Structure 1
């Protein structure tokens, strides 16, 4: 698949109709500097091709009611793959980004790259068969993965904290293209999550946004002018190395001392609770060997109102709020989207993190960004990966 920096006019018109939902020729003429007859011919060509369909009639401004056009949801399809440390997910989407099929896998110590590729190939085949879709009708598969990555070569480089071995220098695009017979595009999961949520929130016309994923580590992405900000290297997890306490701890004896991820991450939370249990603090988890306490057990205890676990999640949220305030003070986003397992564990975590972030945001409340858990939440990475394929498509 060729990624076009300056897409053809037909694709630009298609993207505009897709963004608006429905559009008349007049709506499009306000946006594109071509003659009325040229726009008419282009819309007729796109309709005959099946790219767009007539969806109804608009309001009259004195003459005939104008035709309204929308993109054809069944013209083609996209696959979106989320590769994360706790769960991975595969979705099949139509051109309106409706989820037609979705499945998830636990990323346990048996989930090597080869096994995940096998499962993706198998499930993708089942998805297409169930929907009566040919592989020729699939534009491609987008992959949102844990970094660091070499995006241009389609490689997952040396991510930390996978349970299974072998997640080093994985040519994930090549593996999936070979098995599926369709193009594959790769980006880090924080970026695709932001792309997905930005699309879902498109009615708000957001130009500047921050996405933070709090899970096994802290991952982030930012957008300015409606475009994802990209640095010289892929460092989606670098925000976790933000120092928030001088001479503080390190996570698993790696990274900076006092880094954000040493206070706000699933491993850090697990370790703090285990330590409290070992020194005799009471909890509904007290009957469990401390070293067997994992994140799933902590979420169950939090939902049940366990005081010790609630205390530790509250502390995690407070530190996250400090990290968020630092990012907000540097980037000045309009929207702050918070995702990941720590955010979805309980609404209390989100609320406490936002409260602390607001208290430490410069010029608050005059400057008051919108905080949201997003609309797509757990499906944001996979959906954004599918959108990446749609954006790269040339319209033919």
Structure 2
């Protein structure tokens, strides 16, 4: 099996390749200044990377009085990567080149029939279709990255015991081994919040933000953070712990017996919104939701979204309340972590302006040191594909890993 980290065996070559990757194009002169290497060493490394097909000469830069400098850029066609998101509501496979340009994608609803075996079989079929359609030989694949609902064991490539999957079997799934066997390529795993922020961080690599916080709001709440371009890891996989933040000590019981009373995700999640809407229907509140389902217990978030688009007063009230609680939790994180930029993603954020605007406004009002401390809020630039593309970035990063 191809070991990705060994494709560039020289540590200094990895450094130069990484510098080129972080810039659209860069001259040999700039690389000399940035790296502090001698001309002979840099020339040799550039020749090695060019002969391997990892970088390309892309013309000449502007002259500063002498010969025009040669410009270098990453060869995005050197290899291709699959990125896979495994979430509770849907899973998505993307095929990208080394420039993270999406060539193809496919999604599956995570229904009660979508067991690990069923999903892996569909992934293998779809991956082979993508390669055939885009005329990409399997030898040109670098690997597959997986961003999954946590908790996960990154080292052993195992999805541990995630909650709330509809299908059975999602406990202690050796997802990396299974996908490597199915596809014949290396597989890497991390939790989805980490891969999402990796994708967004890479996409914004030319900007000056050093400390990024990402929160995914959906069935549960998931978070991750990048500082100085590196993911922050705790002693255990802590992806879902933000949802257990206590915002009301004598609050409602968590749907999971091991969860905290008054936990944030009991007030701001798909589950919380569905629960509030169902309760209102049972109470006989006036709402167009009453025309959506015969049984209040069958009401889903999609019904709520449809009513929100029609400005149903009850739904606006429910979403505003959930977003307010989310904003309080977000303010707590800002007061502790002080990120420069916060990227919000997931179904609750994608559902419309109301949740995003309400949550961020509440967070700003409750953030200490405001306005001296300024934070930028964003939905991110990769949208709902952040997790899958970030999983591909994770594989690409192995090229420069020592």
Under a length normalisation based on structure 1, what TM-score does the superposition of the two structures give?
A: 0.97
Of the structure 1 ranges 94-103 and 34-43, higher mean CA displacement relative to structure 2 is found in: 34-43
Q: Is 1:297 matched with 2:288?
A: no
Over 3 Å counting, the alpha-carbon distance change for 1:192 and 1:179 in structure 2 is same
The CA deviation at 1:205 is: 2.7
Q: Is 1:24 matched with 2:27?
A: yes
**Secondary structure, counterpart of 2:274 in structure 1:** helix
CA contact (8 A) 1:337 1:372 kept: yes
Write out per-residue CA displacement over residues 208-233 of structure 1, whole angstroms, 9 at most, x where no aligned residue.
Answer: 11100100000000122221110110
The CA deviation at 1:56 is: 1.9
Which aligned pairs between 1:80-159 and structure 2 lie closer than 5 A?
80-159=83-162
CA contact (8 A) 1:10 1:395 kept: no
Write out per-residue CA displacement over residues 349-375 of structure 1, whole angstroms, 9 at most, x where no aligned residue.
Answer: 111110000001110011011110000
What CA distance in whole angstroms lies between the structure 2 residues aligned with 1:3 and 1:50?
16
CA RMSD of aligned residues (A): 1.5
Q: Is 1:279 matched with 2:279?
A: no
Q: Is 1:215 matched with 2:221?
A: no
Alignment partner, residue 55 of structure 1: 58
Q: Is 1:269 matched with 2:273?
A: yes
**Secondary structure, counterpart of 1:60 in structure 2:** coil
Write out per-residue CA displacement over residues 224-260 of structure 1, whole angstroms, 9 at most, x where no aligned residue.
Answer: 2221110110020011000001110123143000000
What CA distance in whole angstroms lies between the structure 2 residues aligned with 1:217 and 1:16?
37
The CA deviation at 1:140 is: 0.4
The CA deviation at 1:387 is: 0.5
Alignment partner, residue 371 of structure 1: 377
Write out per-residue CA displacement over residues 299-334 of structure 1, whole angstroms, 9 at most, x where no aligned residue.
Answer: 111122111111111111111100000001100100
Alignment partner, residue 233 of structure 1: 236
What CA distance in whole angstroms lies between the structure 2 residues aligned with 1:293 and 1:26?
62
What CA distance in whole angstroms lies between the structure 1 residues aligned with 2:5 and 2:283?
56
What CA distance in whole angstroms lies between the structure 1 residues aligned with 2:206 and 2:307?
38
The CA deviation at 1:58 is: 0.9
Which aligned pairs between 1:177-256 and structure 2 lie closer than 5 A?
177-254=180-257, 255-256=259-260
Alignment partner, residue 337 of structure 2: 331
What CA distance in whole angstroms lies between the structure 1 residues aligned with 2:154 and 2:101?
26
CA contact (8 A) 1:329 1:361 kept: yes
What CA distance in whole angstroms lies between the structure 2 residues aligned with 1:180 and 1:32?
38
What CA distance in whole angstroms lies between the structure 1 residues aligned with 2:71 and 2:399?
23
Alignment partner, residue 351 of structure 1: 357
Q: Is 1:312 matched with 2:318?
A: yes
Structure 2: runs of 5+ lacking an equivalent: none
Under a length normalisation based on structure 2, what TM-score does the superposition of the two structures give?
A: 0.96
CA contact (8 A) 2:17 2:400 kept: no
What CA distance in whole angstroms lies between the structure 2 residues aligned with 1:2 and 1:55?
25
CA contact (8 A) 1:196 1:381 kept: yes
Alignment partner, residue 47 of structure 2: 44
The CA deviation at 1:44 is: 2.0
Of the structure 1 ranges 9-18 and 356-365, higher mean CA displacement relative to structure 2 is found in: 9-18
Question: Which of 368, 384, 389 is the aligned partner of 2:395?
Answer: 389
What CA distance in whole angstroms lies between the structure 2 residues aligned with 1:219 and 1:93?
25
Structure 1: runs of 5+ lacking an equivalent: none
The CA deviation at 1:47 is: 1.7
CA contact (8 A) 2:197 2:224 kept: yes
Alignment partner, residue 75 of structure 1: 78
CA contact (8 A) 1:343 1:373 kept: yes
What CA distance in whole angstroms lies between the structure 2 residues aligned with 1:45 and 1:148?
40
Q: Is 1:361 matched with 2:367?
A: yes
The CA deviation at 1:45 is: 2.2
Over 3 Å counting, the alpha-carbon distance change for 1:11 and 1:103 in structure 2 is same
Of the structure 1 ranges 386-395 and 67-76, higher mean CA displacement relative to structure 2 is found in: 386-395
CA contact (8 A) 2:95 2:105 kept: yes
What CA distance in whole angstroms lies between the structure 1 residues aligned with 2:135 and 2:400?
24
Q: What is the number of equivalent residue pairs in this alignment?
A: 395
Structure 1 stretches of 4+ with a deviation exceeding 3 A read 1-4
**Secondary structure, counterpart of 1:31 in structure 2:** helix
The CA deviation at 1:199 is: 0.8
